[in-house]
A and B are shown apart, each in its own frame.
Chain A
Amino acid sequence: MNAPLFKFGMFGDEVSLIVAFVIGIGFGFFLERAGFGSARKLCAQFYFTDLAVFKVMFTAIITAMVGLFWLSWIGFVDLSLVYVSPTFILPQTIGGLILGAGFVIGGYCPGTSCVAASTGKIDALVYIAGIFAGTFLFGELFPFLSGFYNSTPMGQVTIPQFFNLSYGLVVFLVVMMAIGGFAGTGWVEQKFSKLAKETMP
């Protein structure tokens, strides 16, 4: 949580925990209702037979992006106050690949595993045990890994800044990418579902 409301002292530790709880429950509820508590549904993404994950995530991205752009344009949000995570390109790429591999193998990402565990799925409980074991291992090995962990720092950088593009152009391109992606999903899903039926025993 990087909400400036907490950071700038508009409420304290206790209230922030309540806020986090409410947002977390809401997030989990809608993930579950979208069907993301099922490893089958999530894995179908990687076989291109059901692209719901792609559609939900991309919808969230463009809603937030367009919303922030226009809210800040009318002066309601100050974008310079929004926290941007610093980029460490190499460790974050490797970390992303490890997380992705874990997603394919385990069938969940960290958030959805908790959602699935709340509905009593055993595989999700095993997955969560794996998260804790991995976190513990990482913590123990951190002295050896910290050099790599902090390598290739690029600071707090955004795509418009890095490629020297106008902010509006990036918004436009991502929106076009999303619309094109959504239009193509039906075709992809159909094609790969057929393929899956043909090749599966």
Chain B
Amino acid sequence: MTLSARHWTINKKLAALVGSLGFLALIAANPYKGSRLELNGRELSEIVQKEVDHVSAEELAGWIIQGKSDYRLVDLRNEKDFAEYHIPTAENLAITSLQEGSLARNDKIVLYSDGGIHSAQAWFLLKSNQFKGVYILSGGLDEWKDKILFPRLNDNASPTEIAAFEKAKLVSKFFGGIPQVGGNVASGIPKLAMPKLESPGAGQPKAGPAKKKKEGC
């Protein structure tokens, strides 16, 4: 066997190539990126401008009803509020624990808090830490209550609004809410009771941190 590479078969050449790449890998540094903050201001501002990082309450409700499990719903409120009520399938994580490894960079993450401030702050934190698929529930839990749990039909609603309300009623019932008809918000309606956690959550698979995906050869 000659040592001259000119006489090697293609297989030998490929073996030599992959062998040397493998050997160099021994001395190359770890390619995994560590936890460091890195901001791409332009990219971030464009995302904010185009609002592509928002998930509406209706969209989220649709995902839950369909039983989608390709995302993780993160409740950023405190444990007590979480125990009182949370959107079905949500998991409770404090902002301080977001970077401690319970979320993966390749997870699709939907954040929510009461309004929008906390989730926006967490969004920025995760984005700057190279998490790619981070979304905010538009309007937070407040909008979830208004649009999903307790949708309201105004007295002078147009036919399209009535048709939309019929749909919203079904969604509301699925989540154990109570659709509201007539009246207006300012007239002092008693505080609406949040649905009990068992009713909407019972039929729902609880999204744990370990989820299985089906794959095949």
Contact = CB atoms under 8 A, between A and B. Distances in A.
Interface string B99-119: 000001110100000000000
A13 to B, nearest CB: 11
Interface string A28-46: 0000000000000000000
Nearest to A63: B18
Given A80-B104, A110-B216, A69 B25 contact: yes
A168 B19 contact: no
Contacts of B106: 4, 7, 80-83
A66 interface: yes
B217 A168 contact: no
A86 B52 contact: no
Interface string A51-73: 00000000000110010011011
A172 interface: yes
A86 B70 contact: no
Q: By CB atoms of chain A within 10 A, which of B22, B28, B132, B211 has the most?
A: B22
Contacts, number: 103
B217 A175 contact: no
B212 A80 contact: no
* Range for the number of chain B residues in contact with chain A: 20 to 34
A164 interface: no
A188 interface: no
B39 interface: no
Interface string A68-110: 0110110000111111011010000000000000000000011
A171 B27 CA distance: 11
A83 B213 CA distance: 10
Interface string B8-38: 0001000100110111011111111100000
Nearest to A71: B31
A169 interface: yes
B30 A175 contact: no
A86 B26 contact: no
A152 B106 CA distance: 23
A86 B22 contact: no
A2 B18 contact: no
Contacts of B22: 62, 66, 171-172, 174-176
A179 interface: yes
A110 B214 CA distance: 13
A78 B105 contact: yes
A153 interface: yes
Contacts of A176: 19, 22
A86 B18 contact: no
Contacts of A169: 26
B91 to A, nearest CB: 15
Nearest to A176: B22
B128 to A, nearest CB: 14
Contacts of A110: 216-217
A8 B212 contact: no
Interface of B: 11, 15, 18-19, 21-23, 25-33, 52, 70, 104-106, 108, 130, 132-133, 209-213, 215-217
Given A176-B19, A176-B22, 7 more contacts: A7-B133, A8-B108, A9-B52, A66-B18, A69-B25, A70-B21, A72-B31
6 contacts: A69-B21, A72-B32, A78-B33, A80-B130, A86-B211, A175-B22
